[in-house]
Amino acid sequence: MRLGVLDIGSNTGHLLVVDAHGGAAPSPASSYKEPLRLAEHLDADGAVNEAGTAALTAFVADALALAEDKGCEEIYAFATSAVREAVNGDAVLDHVFHQTGARIKVLSGEDEARLTFLAVRRWFGWSSGRLGVFDIGGGSLEVAAGAAEAPDVAWSLPLGAGRLARTYFSAGRPDEDQLRELRRSIRADIARDAGTLLRGGPLDHAVATSKTFRSLSRICGAAPSSEGLHVRRLLQADVLESWLPKLVEMSREEIAELPGVSPDRAHQVVAGAFVASAVFDIFDITEVEICPWALREGIILDRLDKLSLLD
C-alpha cells in the first residue's frame, strides 16, 4: 500500500510517501519538505505565533494535495516537540484542521524515542545486541536503549538544536561565560536521568539518527549521501571534540559552507555539537553509527505491524 507520513517537526515539515507492505523495507516514492522553524516561531509566552501558524497551515495544505496526487491510501500526520510544548498547540492544530481537514496527532517525547528505536532496530537487526539510540531534533533530544524491539528505557529532553540556538545564539556568538553555561546546562540535564540507561549495562551498538547528527558526521569526514544508504557512517567523539572549538569560532555563513550543512540549519550546528559532545561523555561512548532511518520510518513500521495483526 502507499502511505504518506506527514511529520511536523520543530525545524521542518516533511511529507514522506512510501510504498510499504509487511516483511519488506518501506520504499520511498516521494518527499516534500519545508523549513517551518516552529521552535523559532514561539513568542515570549511560549505560543506559536501567527506567522508560524500560517506557515504550518500552508505547508499541510500543500502536502495533502501532493499526497493525493501521489495516490496515498492513508496519511499519518504527527507533530513533535515544538507543537507539543506550545501553550496554544491544541488551538494551532484545530486551526490547521478547520483549514485543511488534517488531524495531526501530537507524539509524546517517549513515543518519539520508542518509534525511532524501532526503526533503528529494524535497520541494524538483532546483531546489534543492546542498542542505544540518540536523536537530536530541533526541539528535543531523544534517548532510548534496549535489547529487544521495544526499548527498556526511552525519554526526551528539551535539548533540541533549534531550541538551544534560539536561547543562546539569537544575538550572535555567545561569550565564554555563556558557552560555559550552555555546556554545563546540557550536561546536567542529560546526566540527571542517565543512570536509567547506564544501569542496564554497556551498549553493544550506539546509534544516532536525524539531521543534526548526520550533519556533524559529514563535517567530521563521513561519506556524503550521494554514496548511498548502505555506506557505514560514523561520528567519532575525538574528531567532534577537535572540531568543536573551530565551529564555535566560525560565522554562520562559514558553517553553511561545510559539507552536509544546509543553510537553513547552519545556525543550529554549534548548539547541536554541544549536545552530541555531552552524549558521548555522559554515556561513555567513543563513536556512534549514523542510521538513515528515524522517526518517520518508525511510524511506518509500527503502522504496518498493527495492520498485520488485523489480517
Question: Do residue 123 and residue 252 come from a single domain?
Answer: yes
Residue 308 falls inside a structural domain? no
DSSP SS3 for 215: helix
Read off the pLDDT of residues 68-92 as tens digits, 9 standing for 90 and up.
999 999 999 999 999 999 999 999 9
Report whether 283 contacts 198 (CB < 8 A): yes
The three cell numbers of residue 194 are 542517565
Residue 309 falls inside a structural domain? no
The enclosing domain of 247 has a CATH number of 3.30.420.150
Question: Do residue 102 and residue 132 come from a single domain?
Answer: no
- pLDDT, the chain, mean: 95
Question: Do residue 49 and residue 190 come from a single domain?
Answer: no
Q: Give me the amino acid identity at 39.
A: A
Residue 309 reports pLDDT greater than 70: no
Q: For the stretch 2-40, what's the b/e string if a residue is b when 16 or more beta carbons lie within 10 angstroms of its beta carbon?
A: bbbbbbbbbbbbbbbbbebeeeeebeebbebebbbbbbb
Question: Do residue 26 and residue 118 come from a single domain?
Answer: no
Residue 257 falls inside a structural domain? yes
Read off the pLDDT of residues 109-133 as tens digits, 9 standing for 90 and up.
999 999 999 999 999 999 999 999 9
Distances (CA, A) of 82 to 186, 253, 291, 300: 18, 26, 24, 22
Q: For the stretch 222-243, what's the b/e string if a residue is b when 16 or more beta carbons lie within 10 angstroms of its beta carbon?
A: beeeeeeeeeebbbbbebbeeb
The enclosing domain of 34 has a CATH number of 3.30.420.40
Residue 306 reports pLDDT greater than 90: no
Which of 106, 131, 164 is at the close of a domain?
A: 106
Which parts of the chain are beta strand (E)?
Answer: 2-8, 13-19, 27-34, 74-79, 105-106, 131-136, 141-146, 153-157, 205-209, 234-236, 287-291
pLDDT of residue 266: 95
Which of 45, 78, 106 is at the close of a domain?
A: 106
Residue 310 falls inside a structural domain? no
Average pLDDT over residues 212-228: 97
Question: Do residue 96 and residue 47 come from a single domain?
Answer: yes
Share of the chain above pLDDT 70, in %: 99
Residue 199 reports pLDDT greater than 80: yes
Which of 76, 106, 136 is at the close of a domain?
A: 106
pLDDT of residue 23: 81
Residue 311 reports pLDDT greater than 60: no
d(CA 272, CA 255): 13
DSSP SS3 for 41: coil
The three cell numbers of residue 121 are 532496530
Domain that holds residue 132: 109-295
Q: Give me the amino acid identity at 206.
A: A
Average pLDDT over residues 296-307: 90
Q: How confident is the model at residue 143 (pLDDT cuts 50, 70, 90)?
A: very high
Read off the pLDDT of residues 22-47 as tens digits, 9 standing for 90 and up.
788 899 999 999 999 898 888 989 99
Question: Do residue 274 and residue 174 come from a single domain?
Answer: yes
The three cell numbers of residue 24 are 519488506
Question: Do residue 63 and residue 34 come from a single domain?
Answer: yes
Question: Do residue 151 and residue 268 come from a single domain?
Answer: yes
pLDDT of residue 165: 93
d(CA 48, CA 137): 18
Residue 61 falls inside a structural domain? yes
Question: Do residue 171 and residue 48 come from a single domain?
Answer: no
Read off the pLDDT of residues 161-190 as tens digits, 9 standing for 90 and up.
999 998 999 888 899 999 999 999 999 999
Question: Do residue 133 and residue 235 come from a single domain?
Answer: yes
Residue 145 falls inside a structural domain? yes
Question: Do residue 47 and residue 158 come from a single domain?
Answer: no
pTM for the full model? 0.95
pLDDT of residue 310: 59
pLDDT of residue 93: 98
d(CA 167, CA 88): 20
Question: Do residue 87 and residue 193 come from a single domain?
Answer: no
What total number of domains does the chain contain? 2
DSSP 10: S
Q: Torsion over CA of 262, 134, 27 and 232, rounded to 10 degrees?
A: 80
Using only the alpha carbons of the chain, give its radius of gyration: 19
